[in-house]
Chain A
Amino acid sequence: MQDFFIRYPRVWRAFDILLPFLATLAALGVGAVLLMVFDANPIVAYGALLDGAFGSTNAVADTLVKATPLLLVALGICIAFRGGVINIGGEGQLVLGAVTATLVGLALPDMSGYLLIPIALIVGFLAGGFWGAIPGLLKAYFNVNEILSTIMMNAIAVQGMNYLLRGPMIDPVQLDAASRIPQTARLSAAFDLPRLVPTRLHLGTALAVIAAFLVFIFLWRTVVGYRIRAVGLNASASRYAGINVPRNIVLAIALSGAFCGLAGAIQVYGLHHRMFTDGSATGFTGSAGFNGIVVALFGQLHPLGAIPASFLFGALIVGANKLQRVMQVPSSFIIALNGLVVVFVVSADYWRRRIARRREAEVVSEEIATSEAEVPT
């Protein structure tokens, strides 16, 4: 099987791109079994899923809206992974970006929207970066495993959000109401990100796509981006080459967090126009901080690859919501399905890397063979 791919590189290229899709299909297959166990017809269910994601202009717009935070988080994940850091803290960084951006909007209600929206988005960007920099510093200078510290930072951010939204930041209307729903007041309508077409699609989606191109240029066309990738590829070689490894580790994860923070700020200004919580992280983020990791892997850790990948994942989530409404399947099914997709995509990734390595070895040995042939005897 592997030899076959090595002999036919073009087939391999196609397989390379198809593999995440196959993995997702496999996950959906297991999901179908689950649906059958719960007495739901999987064909009808997945039909509803497709219809929900692509069935109308509104559906496609919703898919794009859902894809937006996924794309931004995925961009952050690309930077972190290219720098050799695993950022599981997207959820917390997203929450921090959203909370701080909301604070800006609430504190300056009379400012012009043209001025306030950029300020709020930058604040969200910086706040996410700050939340990412903490585990970055701990990893670079104290050797603390970033997987664990970012998970803890998620929990801290969520508790902080719950505290603020139940206390100091709660909507004054809710304060008087008996229900006391933990959410802020709606931000001034002057701060809404412009809608692109008469749907829920907003400017944030375009910003995210522009950001993808910027991240691509940053990683592959600037010195700083080159250093981050060098550290990710081989930290000790980079050290010998004179690159400050700890500083680039902090930079990679801080930038990663910054894009997650920006995702949170855009969710507030483009979609919800307020901040709310259901007590967990997922209530506001919809697990975008985790799903963005899968999107990044789907796009093969390439910022431009993340664009179509995020669209597909947005479709999956929007479609799953429809599935839930039509088939009365609890939303927890989507969380479980999500987990399956993560597991399948990340497991499939091994085969891709393995074939890539074999091919490289093949190419190198061929080059050696040809160069030896050229050596005069």
Chain B
Amino acid sequence: MITELFTTTVLVGILASGFRLATPYLYASLGETFGQKSGVLNLGVEGIMLLGAFAAFYTTFITENLWLGLLAAIIVGGIMGLAVAVINVTLKAEQGISGIGVFLFGLGMSELLFQKALGTVETVSGFSSINIPFLSDIPIIGEIFFQHNFLVYIAYLMVPVSWFVLSKTTLGLKIRAVGENPEAADTLGVSVSGVRYFTQIFGGVMSGIAGASLSIALLNVFQQNLTSGLGFIAVALVYFGGWRPLGVLVGSLIFSMVNALQLWVQVLDIPIPSDIAVMMPYVLTILALVIAVQRVRPPSALTKPYERGG
């Protein structure tokens, strides 16, 4: 029962799966960070993740090639990102609502494709674990950090890469300028729409990979509503992380650890109703938002479409 949670095996198990389960959060939230830094809120991450997850799963199922599956998720994510850019940047739609439309489209479309193309829940053999030489042999540490699959490692690698791009490169400066003061950026010859199109397509690709990480690397199945709200939490994590890759990393880890704990609670048959356990990450998100927003200010132009002379 409750004491079983505190044995070394279980604790290492929780930490290892928590480390692994942060993967989809990291991809989706880091992609969304770029978008929000440039002033665009894409609330449709959940829908894009579902489409990416299906694309990756189906391609892998048919071709038995994981790399083609990943490529399919990237392409689908990119196309959806482009669509989001057209809706939110060119057509200047209310971003809080258009995102719900994108989510509903992704939810319905992925299920429709699933029913028409597969019909039943199938499995694929996803990316297998790569044990990092030497490091994975360290007791406890090795098991927690160094016995995961390719997509998990890349997700963590994306944290410093995102930080570097956003804070140390010209591209990052342009993204931040467009999100903070689009008028000034425009005056200096930065294409506001161009930068925002880039961040939306990049965010779409990252959401697609986030979906793929679920369907061909972590769970290796596809079923309806596979992501079950994960994409929405990923958007909230960007706020929680204060629009910084490192903050997003911390948030992702907290959430995935809570999720891992909740899964183990169910595995060990501890008498907490599963519906209540599933509720916890959402309650935590709200509390996290309350704490987080007191510390940092969102990008000034977030959710505000840019119009010259407007």
A residues near B, CB below 8 A? 34, 38, 86, 88, 138, 142-145, 147-149, 151-153, 155-156, 159-160, 162-163, 166-167, 280, 287, 290, 293-294, 297, 330, 332-343, 346-350
Contacts and interface: CB of A to CB of B under 8 A. Distances in A.
Contact of B100 (A143, A148, A163, A293): A293
B279 A160 contact: yes
A181 B185 CA distance: 58
The residue in A148, A294, A337 that gathers the most chain B C-beta atoms within 10 A of its C-beta is A148
A142 B111 CA distance: 38
Contacts of A294: 97
A342 B100 contact: yes
B133 to A, nearest CB: 42
Contacts of A346: 87, 93-94, 97-98, 101
Contact of B290 (A144, A290, A335): A144
Contact of A338 (B93, B108, B285): B108
Contact of A152 (B104, B105, B282): B282
Given A151-B232, A156-B283, A335-B107, A297 B276 contact: no
B286 A152 contact: yes
A180 to B, nearest CB: 14
A343 B106 contact: no
Contact of B108 (A86, A167, A293, A339): A339
B92 interface: yes
B40 interface: no
25 contacts: A38-B112, A88-B97, A88-B100, A144-B289, A147-B96, A148-B232, A148-B239, A148-B285, A155-B232, A159-B275, A290-B104, A330-B116, A332-B109, A334-B108, A335-B108, A336-B105, A338-B104, A339-B101, A339-B103, A339-B105, A339-B107, A339-B109, A342-B97, A346-B97, A347-B98
B224 to A, nearest CB: 8
Given A142-B294, A332-B115, A347 B286 contact: no
Dominant SS among interface residues on chain A: helix
B204 interface: no
A166 B100 contact: no
Given A152-B236, A336-B112, A163 B286 contact: no
A339 B97 contact: no
The residue in A156, A294, A348 that gathers the most chain B C-beta atoms within 10 A of its C-beta is A156
A153 B92 CA distance: 27
A166 B278 CA distance: 14
A290 B276 CA distance: 24
Nearest to A159: B279
Interface in B75-122: 87, 91-94, 96-98, 100-109, 111-112, 115-116
**Number of chain B interface residues as a range:** 35 or more
Contacts of A138: 286, 289-290
Nearest to A143: B293
B258 to A, nearest CB: 14
B97 A333 contact: no
Given A332-B224, A343-B101, A346-B94, 7 more contacts: A88-B100, A147-B96, A152-B283, A163-B275, A330-B115, A336-B104, A342-B101
A145 B239 contact: yes
A347 to B, nearest CB: 4
Contacts of B286: 138, 144, 149, 152-153
B210 interface: no
Interface string B268-310: 0000010110110011011001100110001000000100000
A309 B36 CA distance: 33
Contacts of A348: 91
A156 B116 contact: no
A362 to B, nearest CB: 16
Given A38-B116, A166-B275, A347-B91, A333 B108 contact: yes
B35 interface: no
A155 to B, nearest CB: 4
